[in-house]
Structure 1
């Protein structure tokens, strides 16, 4: 069985996807360069979960290194690729734009070139709900436009969608993009709300809640995201045979084996509800500072997941109450210095 390339294998979502594949007996090549955007020790701990499997091969490569990426594809001729590596974070992009250009644009172009050279049978890559930007018509639909991103991070991910479509059309590479909505859960990123809030609460520090606590997010548990990605990986898209040439559907094209899907929970949750659940599961009370919404943030997100439900039977199975409790269980174990599974 040929290996699946999973980029971002030391990252939050990439690590979960790689682990799920390995548990199914699928060999994985995990690409990551362990950038110090956040605690590298956490990334190493995630990688340790993968190294326990004989089917795992580590490739410590920077996607922006064109020669190294080309050599990796030349060595393995990947038939399936799951691309989850990126410079993440909306707010970080305000101060470090070059990191997003190098990783999200140059790195993605190198990945697409690798897929072209290897005639990859299916590329599944991560986009983001942030591409909806200034849109206010909810739930957000992949069939609507997404041409007004509000941050550089979102702009680079929208650019990825356009780059992927052009390669899919020109070189007949089946490509599926997934617009992820506020993913959370065990082994999460320390710069994301749940992890940041939990650390501050247990340390007795105040937490900053933006948007005066009135924001809503379509929080999506990481296991549900993995289910969606693996379901799509086995279903390469085909061109839309019904397309007439008039106003192609933004979600499906008409000339290329290309699709875009939302991956969310379809259950927007008030941010303060999220905080109260975290307090409940930790058994502690947060010192809350209500602050104005930050530049680039949007007041609410909500995913239309009808296409995903229809095409792969996607049904998010983890309510936020369960997801937050599972995160807290992991967080306490990890903070105590033990290595949870």
Structure 2
């Protein structure tokens, strides 16, 4: 019988970690059976999963400010369910990691990045709890920045850490050559949440738009939409900014962009940047996580400090030069195909799930 894997997410709303899980589960098919716990009850990413998968979604709500009580309750569930593997995702699932002490199941913890409360520094209480809960677990990290934090700040044993870069089906994002438009399209694909700092992008665009024809397209939805719409109006660019909302398939939008922009305060190895690279786009981005290392070397001058003026300057230079955009886009496309295709990532994850890598 195929191994049964229990995956615990703070939320199963669609995001990078959830999209990666769906891609892997769909790819491996009947090779694994799955249980998915969304501690907030949001199962929106379920729509990405193949209906033929053997998978169930038990309801396991978590009580606020009750870490010990939650951990004891979760441990009883682990004993009842007896999964072959427990996979916890990010800080929001740490109580399930604590519940597995001492181990009921083999444990992988995946750390994809941090929310707004840890965008600038690690919180001491969380550092100590990660050190306690994860010391005997295999910890999977998609970025070199996170790998360094796990070693130097959380002080986890090097032997327990696995660096597995994110990957995407690069061929699916291949786009035809882009025309040299008089009004270039700057685009981003992101959840409209505070840590994405899309207000920085709108202000940067407004600086550029004061002297150059261009349009801005934001693909994604979230709690910041109303505030961002109002900001575009107050900056005088509402007629040049399009809020496209959530899209199940963003590939056609990448194909319609001339420049990809990332304005986040915190990222690690964002899938959106990989998708933009695979689509042959130049990227103007804030210098967060592994973004600089992900991009082709020639794109490095367009990775900026967390500053709207610097981001506006990078966008302006790219919008001004179609030949530069084409050259950088081709370099990014080649790097994505060579380094970040989904096949290599999937091979690493299969070995982690079936135990052959640990």
Q: Same fold (TM over 0.5)?
A: no
Greater helix fraction, Structure 1 or Structure 2: 2
Rg (Cα) greater in structure: 2
Between the two structures, name the one with larger relative contact order (CA 8 Å, sep ≥ 6).
1
Provide TM-score, normalisation by structure 1: 0.42
